[in-house]
């Protein structure tokens, strides 16, 4: 299953499987209006199927673990759920790099986060780094549902490249976040698919937390630097 699916992928589930899906609501369902909870459990909001978000997998457990998020929020909390689906029930996989490319042919609302996305994407291109998007922005681009608002932040991922270029890109993103007022979080995707936060990579510590398909591990930064010789900027 690993190799076909990766962290942050958005998956479309065939209708027959979605109708029989057992979605577990995260948190207390009674805190939410019953109709919103029902839409989450059905995996459809206002007639639009919710994309599944590929989550961390448990070794040895059958099926694909996915999360679901809705546009419904209360007091800064979003109504979310999780489920396990048969891999064969997935009809479409979109990784963060495909989702961001889809923005070119998608009408988006006039919100700060989408303008900042364009600027960050251009910065990544200038650095020769493939760039993708996940989080609420990706969910809105993939579904058209109103996941974003005036205060939405931006979650990006870039593929491993020469670290001097990655560091220059990170500095430019920090400046962009300060200028725009939009919080930007960037992951670096390592060759094995694990992700590390650029904010951790370029802080004063000696280690970074790498989040992978089946778990997390603490990495020495020298391990990351040792990968640098394999890559060169385009």
As a dihedral over the C-alpha atoms of residue 50, residue 56, residue 8, residue 84, rounded to 10 degrees, the angle is -20
pTM: 0.92
Sign for the CA dihedral angle at 222, 224, 227, 229 comes to negative
- pLDDT above 70 covers what percent of the chain? 95
| Dihedral (CA of 186, 152, 77, 147) sign | negative
Q: How far apart are the first and last CA of the chain?
A: 31
pLDDT range class, residue 58, cuts 50, 70, 90: confident
Q: What is the residue whose two structure tokens read 């993708």?
A: 132
Tokens representing 23 are 């979605």
Tell me what pLDDT residue 232 has.
42
Confidence bin at 233 (pLDDT 50/70/90): very low
pLDDT at 2: 54
Is residue 3, in this structure, part of any structural domain at all? no
- Tell me, yes or no, whether 204 and 174 share the same domain: yes
Residue with tokens 């910065």: 123
Regarding whether 104 and 212 lie in a shared domain, the answer is yes
101 and 175 co-located in one domain? yes
Question: pLDDT at position 19, please?
Answer: 85
> Is 36 in the same domain as 148?
no
In the chain, helix, strand, coil percent, each to 5?
A: 35, 30, 35
Give the domain range for residue 65: 10-94
Assess if residue 2 is contained within a domain.
no
Domain contains 175: yes
In a domain, 5, yes or no: no
Query: Residues 126, 57: one domain?
Result: no
55 lies in some domain: yes
Q: Look at residue 194 and tell me if it is in a domain.
A: yes
Q: Give the residue-averaged pLDDT of 94-117.
A: 89
Cα dihedral sign for 155, 158, 164, 165?
negative
Same domain, 82 and 119: no
Please state which of the ranges 4-8, 9-13, 18-22, 134-138 shows the lowest mean pLDDT. 18-22
- Where helices occur in 93-229 by DSSP H, the ranges are 96-102, 112-126, 135-143, 163-180, 198-201, 221-226
Instruction: Based on the fold, state whether residues 117 and 225 are members of the same structural domain.
Output: yes
Whether residues 111 and 26 fall in one domain:
no
Q: Of 50, 68, 94, which marks where a domain is finished?
A: 94
Domain count, the chain: 2
Task: Map residue 205 onto helix, strand or coil.
Answer: coil
Same domain, 108 and 215: yes
CA 47 remoteness from chain centre: 23
Longest CA–CA span in the chain (Å) reads 54
Would you say residue 105 lies in a domain?
yes
Kindly list the distances between the CA atom of residue 51 and the CA atoms of 45, 120, 178, 198, in Å, as whole numbers in the listed order.
Answer: 11, 24, 31, 27
Pick the last residue of a domain from 69, 94, 119: 94
Main-chain dihedrals φ then ψ at residue 196, nearest 5 degrees? -125, 145
Could you tell me if 69 and 119 lie in one domain? no
Closest CA to 163 of 234, 233, 228: 228
- Of 51, 67, 94, the residue at which a domain comes to its end is 94
4 is a domain residue: no
Give 34-48 pLDDT, tens digit per residue: 999 999 999 999 999
Q: Are residues 107 and 215 in the same domain?
A: yes
- Is the model more confident about 73 or about 105? 73
Same domain, 134 and 219: yes
Residue range 146-199, pLDDT digits in tens: 999 999 999 999 999 889 999 999 999 999 999 999 999 999 999 989 999 999
């Amino acid at each position: 299953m690993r190799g076909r699916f990766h962290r942050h992928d958005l998956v479309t589930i065939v209708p027959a499987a979605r109708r029989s899906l057992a979605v577990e609501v995260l948190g207390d369902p009674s805190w939410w209006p019953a109709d919103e909870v029902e839409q989450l459990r059905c995996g459809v909001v206002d007639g639009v199927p919710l994309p599944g978000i590929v989550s961390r997998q448990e070794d040895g457990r059958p099926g694909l673990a996915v999360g679901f998020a809705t546009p419904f929020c209360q007091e800064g909390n979003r109504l979310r759920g999780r489920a396990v689906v048969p891999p064969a029930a997935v009809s479409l996989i979109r990784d963060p790099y495909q989702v961001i490319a889809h923005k070119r042919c998608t009408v988006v609302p006039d919100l700060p986060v989408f303008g900042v996305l364009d600027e960050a994407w251009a910065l990544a291109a200038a650095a020769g780094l493939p760039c993708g998007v996940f989080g609420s922005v990706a969910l809105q681009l993939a579904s058209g549902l109103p996941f974003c608002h005036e205060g939405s932040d931006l979650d990006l991922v870039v593929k491993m490249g020469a670290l001097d270029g990655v560091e220059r890109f990170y500095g430019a993103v920090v400046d962009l976040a300060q200028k725009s007022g939009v919080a930007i979080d960037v992951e670096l995707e390592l060759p094995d698919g694990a992700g590390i936060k650029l904010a951790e990579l370029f802080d004063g510590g000696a280690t970074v937390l790498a989040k992978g398909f089946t778990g997390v591990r603490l990495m020495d930064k020298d391990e990351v630097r040792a990968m640098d010789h394999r890559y060169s900027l385009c």
